[in-house]
Structures are given as C-alpha cells and as structure tokens.
Chains A and B, each alone.
Chain A
Amino acid sequence: MPDVVIVGAGIVGAACAYYAAREGLSVAVLERGTVAGGTTSRGEGNILVSDKEPGPELNLALASRTRWLELAAEFGPDPFELEEKGGLVVATSDPGVAALTRFAEGQRATGVETVAVRADQLHDHEPNLAPDLPGGVLYPQDMQVQPVLAAVSLLAAARSLGATVVRGEEVVAAERGPDGRVTAVRTRTGSYPTNAVVNAAGTWGGQVGERLGAPIPILPRRGFILVTEPLPRVVRHKVYSADYVENVASDVAGLETSTVVEGTQGGTVLIGASRERVGFDDTMSVEVLRRLASLAVRLFPFLADVRLMRTYRGFRPYCPDHLPVIGPDPRIPGLFHACGHEGAGIGLAPATGKLISQMLTNDQPDIDPSAFAPSRFAQVTAE
C-alpha cells in the first residue's frame, strides 16, 4: 500500500512525487491522460521572479528557483534545458518606466536582483528590440526549462526511488474510514488503499477536489502561444512588456493580451501571452493570434518577416486570489491540495513538492505555507 497517492502527473505532481519519495515515502502517481499532457506542456517553461509582487508567492518563487538549480545539478548534465537567461521587462511609455521602476524597487527589498536599463542600454541586452522603447528592468534570476523534460526527469527520479506512475487511471472518489480519514482512492478501474492523497490535478484540481468530496475554487484561464520557424539566437532573455504583470494580476474576464517573446533551445521563438476566462472552451481564435503577433512585432520588428509554424493553447489553473492552493484540506483528513498555480506552475513546482513532502512527514515547512492554505476559502471552512 502506498503511503501517498498523487493525482496528476504534471509538473507539480511530479515534484510532489520526487520529494515525497526522497523522504522515504512509498508513492503512487495516478494520471488519467499522459505525463505532462495538461497545462505543463502548454506554456513556455518559465521560472520567473520578475512578474511577482512582494509577498508569499514571490517567496515561494525564490525558494523554488534555488531548488530548480539544485535539481539540474543533481540530475545533470543538462537534464531539462535549464537556462539562466534572465528576464527583460520593457516599458512602452514614460509613465510605464516609472511604474516598472517602483515595482522593481519593492521586489529588490525582498531579495530579487533587478538592474535598471535605460533606453540607450536596451540594445546592449537585446539588439533586435525596436529602436524607440523608453527603458526597462533586467531580472537576472529569471530562468526557463523545457517543462515536459523537467516533469519526466522528476518522475524518473521518483521511480528510481521506488515510486510508481500509473497512466490511464482517472480518479472518481475517495474512500474514508469511520474517523473520516482517507483510506483509499477509487479510480474508474479499481481502488488504491492509502493514508494520504495529494490533489495535483492542476487546472482540473477543482473537479478532482469535488470528486474526492472537497471542492476548491480553481478555474481555467485560457492562453495562446505562437511558435515561429526555427531561428538562430535572436532573443537572449525572456522579454516582455510591463503590462504583462498587470494582466497576470487582473480580474478581467474578457480577452487581455500582453507581449512575451523568448527563444528556446530548439530554435523556435515562443510568443504570448493572452488571458481569457472562457471555461474549457479550446476553440482556435484568429483574433487572439492576430493581436499577439502584432504586439510581438511592435517589440521585435524583425518578427514581421519570420514565419509562424504553429500555435498552441492551454488553460492556466487560477484561484480567485491568484495564489496556489498548497496544504491539508480540513474537511478530509489525509487529503492535501497542490494545485492552482495559474501561469507559474513550472516555476513553483519544486518548492510546492518540497512543502507537500514536509507536510506528509510532519516536518517543519521551510517556508511559511499559511497564505496557500485551502482553509482560506470560505467554501472550505463552511463545510
């Protein structure tokens, strides 16, 4: 009997499995589809500190960034295309420069490295940028991984420590003992007796929570990404417009777009980012693609003569307060949630996995998890 059943083999489930197995727990990962087949493979693999305001999520991101570096060294050489490329945030107006500079000062006070970049210095960092931009801020700590490789590496490491990964297993319910504790996870095909369950189902964490008898408010936020033909190194950093941070934190339901451009080791350049609350509707939208493309050309004019090869889209798991849900569910002893990381799941995965492993083994958490507690939601404490 596994000590813990983890629901979901995306990046967060993989990190939970790895850190739990490293603590000596026996682990079973259940995945209804394929490894990294959900939101993990629908983003750019970002590990960012630049887009987070001072607070609990930024603290989690800083801790997680250190863990990513540790994992790369441990699994190396070059296990998942980790690149310490840095992020360059570019303002598009003079008031934008002032706002960005203030934002960066606040981040700096909590341990984020920031370098102010004047208009005349922008091209030293990114020679292909448009000539008329007013300035920006460089964040040397921003990094990128190939997220599917990263999830697969974590799961492989967990398996070498004895974990099992079962695909094609869709969770339908939790079985509970007379004291209310979890005793098993029931799937469409059978039952997995266990003492603990981790809901790492990402954007589908709300549904899985409901099936387990403990709903949490996680909803999808759709995003599109454009993929160019392979190019040489044309963009050095993750480059994005300053309005991206506002869009990440906003509560608007309609279409929001900001410009995010970055290269990959495969040679393609990825262009985002859009945000829409349209449920799980995955219809292609030419309107969104057009907007993303024209915004990207505004930042990098050379892109006008580069062909797009394909696009993809996915659903970020967002909570009403834009914080992930990490911790025990007070309604069902033995159930833990580790989901709702919105667009930051890759970056935040290792610190989330470590926190979950510390909670499973009753260890002192190395970072304060209280802001992420499921009990912060009224619907959780009311029941």
Chain B
Amino acid sequence: MSQPHFSFDGSQIPFRPGQSVGAALTAAGVRSWRSTRRAGRPRGLFCGIGVCFDCLLVVDGRPNERACLRLAEPGMEVSTQEGTGHGDLEV
C-alpha cells in the first residue's frame, strides 16, 4: 500500500495516518514554513501542542492554521505563510 501524501509549496510530503502536518513536515526535513509579520524571520514548530501559535501555515487557502494540531490528510494543499497570511486584503 502506497503512503499518503499532501502537497507543500508544490512538493509532495509523505505522512502516516494520524500524523500532524507539522510532524510530517519536520519528518521530511522541513523546519520552517512561516515568516514573521515584522522582521520576516522563519518559524516552524515551537511548542508543538497548540499553545504558542508559532507554527502557522496555509491549508487549502486558509491561513493561520496550526501545523501542530492539523491532522494531515491525503491531497491537502499546504503552503508557506507570509506574515499575516492576509496580504491580499491590505489597503
């Protein structure tokens, strides 16, 4: 049986059922997937338990999803989040 995958910024990330997006990314060697709002510094998993809101990313077009809480699903489209993830709304 082939392992399920989700896409991350165009590449395919394998995961085991029950694994979080953050765990799968880390297992695949991806350590950061967000840039901070002001200084643009890289962020990935920090607390890993849903508290710190550091590991935010975009899932299926929706920003500010916590990678550590979101269960990986086959075919999910995950992408890096720049700043607030709502740059399109800026006026």
Interface residues of A (CB under 8 A from B): 126-128, 229-236, 267, 302, 306-307
What CA separation (Å) do A234 and B86 show in the bound complex?
A: 9
Contact (A233, B86) CB under 8 Å given A267-B37, A307-B64:
no
State which residues 51-91 of B face A: CB under 8 Å: 64, 83-84, 86-87, 89-91
| Chain B contact patch, size range | under 10
A-B contact pairs, 20 of them (CB 8 A): A126-B91, A229-B64, A229-B86, A230-B37, A231-B84, A231-B86, A231-B89, A232-B83, A232-B86, A232-B89, A232-B90, A233-B90, A233-B91, A234-B86, A234-B89, A234-B90, A234-B91, A235-B91, A236-B91, A267-B84
**A residues within 8 A CB of B64?**
229, 307
**B residues within 8 A CB of A229?**
64, 84, 86
Q: CB-nearest residue of chain A relative to B90?
A: A232
> Measured between C-beta atoms, what is the minimum distance from A130 to chain B in Å?
14
Q: Is the CB of B89 within 8 A of A128?
A: yes
> Measured between C-beta atoms, what is the minimum distance from B35 to chain A in Å?
13
What CA separation (Å) do A231 and B87 show in the bound complex?
A: 8
11 extra interchain contacts, Cβ-Cβ under 8 A, other than A229-B64, A302-B89? A126-B91, A128-B89, A229-B84, A229-B86, A231-B84, A232-B83, A232-B84, A234-B86, A235-B91, A236-B91, A306-B89
**B residues within 8 A CB of A128?**
89, 91
What CA separation (Å) do A371 and B37 show in the bound complex?
A: 47
Q: Is the CB of B91 within 8 A of A127?
A: yes
> Measured between C-beta atoms, what is the minimum distance from B36 to chain A in Å?
11
**A residues within 8 A CB of B37?**
230, 267
**B residues within 8 A CB of A127?**
91
Total cross-chain contacts (CB, 8 A): 32
Q: CB-nearest residue of chain A relative to B87?
A: A232
What CA separation (Å) do A234 and B91 show in the bound complex?
A: 5
What CA separation (Å) do A235 and B91 show in the bound complex?
A: 7
What CA separation (Å) do A44 and B19 show in the bound complex?
A: 41
> Measured between C-beta atoms, what is the minimum distance from A261 to chain B in Å?
13
Q: Which of A128, A232, A234, A302 has the most CB of B within 10 A?
A: A232
What CA separation (Å) do A116 and B37 show in the bound complex?
A: 35
**B residues within 8 A CB of A234?**
86, 89-91
**A residues within 8 A CB of B87?**
232
> Measured between C-beta atoms, what is the minimum distance from A256 to chain B in Å?
29
What CA separation (Å) do A306 and B37 show in the bound complex?
A: 17
**B residues within 8 A CB of A306?**
86, 89
**A residues within 8 A CB of B83?**
232
What CA separation (Å) do A128 and B91 show in the bound complex?
A: 8
What CA separation (Å) do A232 and B87 show in the bound complex?
A: 6
**A residues within 8 A CB of B86?**
229, 231-232, 234, 306
What CA separation (Å) do A231 and B83 show in the bound complex?
A: 9
